[in-house]
Structure 1
Amino acid sequence: MVAAVAENGVIGNGPDIPWRIPGEQAEFKAITMGHTLVMGRTTFESIGRPLPGRTTVVLTKDETWSYDGVLVAHDIDTALALAAGEQGDTIIAGGAQVYEAAFPYATDQVITRVHLTPEGDVFYPSFDETEWVEMKREPHEAYDRVFLTRVEVADTADPGELWPVYQEVWGDETRDAFDGIWAAHSARDGFKIAAVRRGGNLVGFAWAYVGQRGQPWSDRITEALPAVAEEWVGRHWEVAELGVLDQWRGYGLGRALLRAVTDVPCERMVLETDADESKPAHRLYLCEGWLDIARVPDTDNVLMGKLQAPGSTVDPPS
C-alpha cells in the first residue's frame, strides 16, 4: 500500500489531490518503478495513462471498460491474482475503496504523512496502529514518509515456514526436534503466534499459550524453583519463543511481536531467557516491564515475569 495522507486522513477532494508538494511525485516514482500498481478506475483516469516502467491493474465494476496496456479486474481477489503474475511487488495505489478492499491483504504500507489539514471528501482507511511496526521514517519539511510492516497474529502457522527462522536464530535444534516442540506447543490452550514478513518472507515470529502444571517446562521450573513456582506457575501466560533474523534486528520487530502475543487478559506472564542483561532479548523484556524473578538453577537463564492489572483473568479469550 502506498498513499499520501494528510493529518486529518484526507487523501483527496473529489478527483483532485488537495496539495502539491515538490519532490513527492519523484519519490512515488522511485518506490513504484519496476512493480505492479493496483488502482481504481477513477484514480487511473486522474493519472490519464499507464505509468512508464510499471504494470497497471485497474479495478472497476464496469465490465465494458478497457484501456490499451492496462490489465482490468472487477473484484479485489482477481486484481491481486493478476498483479501477482506481473513484475515486482504488488502495490495498492488507491483510491479509497481500493485501499479499503485491499487492506486485509496488505503486509506493508508506505505512507506519506502530509503536514496539512485540507478540506476533502476522500479518506484513507483507519487502522489499528498496534498491528503495525514502523520500520523507517524519512522526515521532510512538508511531510514524513513512514514505512510500516504488519504484525500478523493467528492461532496456527506453517511450521515449514517457521523452521528456517528458528534454525538461524537458535541453531541448536534439529528439524525433528523443532517439529516436536511445535506439535506440543501449538496444541496448548490459547495458543497464539505473531509473525512479521519482509518482501513476502518470514523474518521473525513469537508464540505463547496458557502454561500449567503437567507441561514439561512448568514442571521443570516447579522442581527447580518450588517457592517461585507457587506464585508464578499454573494457569499463567507463557511466552515460549521469540526470534528475529539478525539482519532485521534493530527495527523494533521483537518489541512488536512480544506485544502482539502478550495482548491477552492474563494476570501472570512468565518466560525464561538468558540471564545476561547485555543480551538483546533480556534488554527487550526489561524495557517492556518484565522483571527478573530468579535464576534457573544449573542453567545460564533467568525466569522473568510480568503482572498485569489485578483481577485479570488467567484464561485468554477463546
Structure 2
Amino acid sequence: MLTIIAAAAENNALGKDNDLVWHLPDDFKRFKKLTTGHYIIMGRKTYESFPKPLPNRTHVVITRQLDYEDKNCLVVHNLEEALALASKDEQPFIIGGGEIYKLSLPQVDKIELTRVHGEFEADAYFPELDLNDWQLVNEEFHEKDDKHNYAFTYFTYQRKK
C-alpha cells in the first residue's frame, strides 16, 4: 500500500525556502511513528532540508541530477524507479515535496494528511485533492496549545475502489 504523508495548510501550503512554515511537535511524533522502519520516497530538495537522514528509514531520493550521490540514501531519477526500489516494503511512504506528491497522487492508495488550520505564504504546495476519489476514514482534531501555534487535524483518506 503506497501512502502519501504530508502536512499542508488550508491553502495547501507545504513550505517556503525548503523549510516548513510551522512547528508542530505532535505531528513530527506521528510522522516518526508511521514512517519508522519503512521506505520514504522524496525529492532531492526535501532530502536536503533534513539536518541529517532520518533514523530507521530507507531514504529514496528522486533527482534530475545524473551525478547526484549520497551514501545515506538510494538515488533514482524518476518516480517509477523509486517505486520499484520501495516495492520491497509493503508500506512505503511518499514524503514530499510538492512536485513528488503531485506525480505520485494517481498511484497512491492512502493519504495521511495533517491539515494545519491557517493560510501561509509558500513556494511549495500540496496538490488539490478530488474528494470524489477519496474516502475519509479517520479524522482527529488538535487544538492550538502552548507547544503548537496552530490548530490542526489529522485526516486519513483511502482511495475509493
Q: Distance in 1 between matches of 2:60 and 2:25?
A: 27
Q: Percent identity?
A: 36
Runs in 1 of length 4+ with deviation above 2 angstroms? none
Normalised by the size of structure 2, how large is the TM-score?
0.90
Distance 2:124 2:78 in 1: 20
**Residue 115 of structure 1 pairs with residue 117 of structure 2:** yes
Gaps of 5+ in 2: 144-150
| Contact 1:37–1:90 under 8 Å retained in 2 | yes
Is 1:145 paired with 2:154? yes
Match of 1:80 in 2: 83
Residues 13-42 of structure 1, C-alpha deviations (whole Å, 9 max, x = no match): 121111112322111101111111000000
* Residue of structure 1 in register with 2:138 after alignment: 136
Alpha-carbon separation, structure 2, partners of 1:111 and 1:58: 21
Distance apart, 1:74 and its partner CA:
0.1
Cα displacement (A) at 1:2: 0.3
Task: Give the letter for the 2:158 counterpart.
Answer: T
Q: Secondary structure at the match of 1:24?
A: helix
Q: Within 2, Cα distance between the matches of 1:18 and 1:94?
A: 15
Deviations 1:190-222 (A, max 9, x none): xxxxx2xxxxxxxxxxxxxxxxxxxxxxxxxxx
Determine the structure 1 residue equivalent to 2:74: 71
CA contact under 8 A between 1:133 and 1:148: conserved in structure 2?
A: yes
Q: 1:28 is aligned with what amino acid?
A: F
Equivalent residues in 2 for 1:153-192 (5 A)?
none
1:21 alignment partner, one of 20, 24, 35: 24
* Contact 1:34/1:88 (<8 A) preserved: no
For the aligned residue pairs, the C-alpha RMSD in angstroms reads: 1.1
SS at match of 1:147: strand
Separation in 2, partners of 1:78, 1:71: 10
The 3 A distance-change label for structure 1 pair 88 and 49 is farther
Where 2:136 maps in the other structure, the secondary structure is strand
Residue 33 of structure 2 corresponds to 30
Measured against aligned partners, the alpha-carbon deviations of 1:68-108 in whole angstroms (never above 9, x if no partner) come to 131111011001101112x4411000001111111111010
Report the CA distance between 1:4 and its aligned residue: 0.1
Check if 1:11 corresponds to 2:14.
yes
The CA deviation at 1:50 is 2.1
Secondary structure (helix, strand or coil) at the match of 1:23 reads helix
Deviations 1:88-145 (CA, angstroms, capped at 9, x unpaired):
4110000011111111110100000001111112110112111100111111112100
Displacement of 1:49 in angstroms is: 2.6
Higher relative contact order at CA 8 Å, sep ≥6: structure 1 or structure 2? 2
Kindly indicate which of the two structures has a greater share of residues assigned to helix. 1
Residue 147 (structure 2) aligns with = none
TM-score (normalised: structure 1)? 0.46
